[in-house]
Amino acid sequence: MGPVWGIDLGGTKIEGVVLEDALNPVVLKRLRVSTEKEKGYQHIIGQIVKLVEVLMAETGVKPDKIGIGTPGTLEPSTQTMKNSNTTCLNGKYLKRDLERALSMPVSMANDANCFAIAEARLGIIKNTLPDAKVVFGVIIGTGVGGGLVIDGKIHHGKQGIGGEWGHSYMEASGGKCYCGQIGCTETIISGPALERYYHSKMGIKKDLHQIIEDYYEGQDDIATETVNRLLKYFGQGMASIINMIDPDAIILGGGLSKIDLLYDEGVKSIEQHIFNHKLETPILRPSLGDSAGVFGAALL
């Protein structure tokens, strides 16, 4: 066993890490470069190659293979990317093209799956519920997604969309999603969706952090309405996950996971919708912070 390498490909940044080994996540080196997705697909490939070359130069280690977490999913039947909000990746042979550009094997998974497996094997689940067999990792931030880990392994599903609760139908008022559907969960409770909702009601643009502050101050009825919208649909969405999968634990990730309300009022909202006499599923805060995605990629 030796160093493991992970790349977290995001819409604005690409992060790389070299860990001492898969059981001992001591960081040997960690670097970031800008994605610059507006420059297109080939430029993103080049940015990943540049990042790996710098990591090799600074660690003196050359990987045998590398794990990469991506926005979107690799379609199992065609091996092309799909469902990515970095839309220039969709339809492209990203795994094949990276293996050619890097001259090494690449393991690839959705970024939400990387978050889930990192928290399951290295983070909050390992530290608090080590016997958990089924873990669901929720991402609520710029987008909404999820990852399912069973017995320490990612459950990708037949179509590669295991855990993608962000594109289940929730409520038509969310409007059209980038995926082409109407009223996806992502159009209701993602950060940008909530900010759009506030703006549509108030005529003033505020970021979600300010909306939450205004909610606590109790002087802005539209802030209260916006937060109540989040709590209502968060409860419904999470209850659907629990009703279908009944995981041993759920971990919240993404920017909205820092909102304290989700762990008390949000939990009360879940309790109103689950098909059980009470909520027994722990709703946990993540412990790895922004390391989870790139650590999970390395575990691939």
Quick one: pLDDT at residue 257? 95
Q: Is the pLDDT of residue 1 over 80?
A: no
3-state secondary structure of 103: coil
CA 171 – CA 173 distance, rounded (Å): 6
Judge whether 95 and 106 are in contact, CB under 8 Å: yes
> If you average pLDDT over residues 254-263, what whole number do you get?
95
Q: Is the pLDDT of residue 24 over 80?
A: no
Closest of 46, 38, 37 to residue 10, by C-alpha: 37
Quick one: pLDDT at residue 12? 86
Task: Tell me what percent of the residues of the chain surpass a pLDDT of 90.
Answer: 91
Q: Is the pLDDT of residue 297 over 90?
A: yes
pLDDT tens for 106-156 read: 999 999 999 999 999 999 999 999 999 999 999 999 889 999 999 999 999
153's enclosing H/E stretch is strand 153-154
DSSP state of 77: T
pLDDT tens for 192-203 read: 999 999 999 999
pLDDT bin (cut points 50, 70, 90) of residue 35 is very high
Q: Where are the alpha helices (DSSP H) in the chain?
A: 41-59, 94-102, 111-121, 124-128, 186-189, 191-202, 208-217, 221-245, 265-271, 292-299
Q: How high is the mean pLDDT of the chain?
A: 95
Quick one: pLDDT at residue 135? 98
> If you average pLDDT over residues 240-252, what whole number do you get?
97
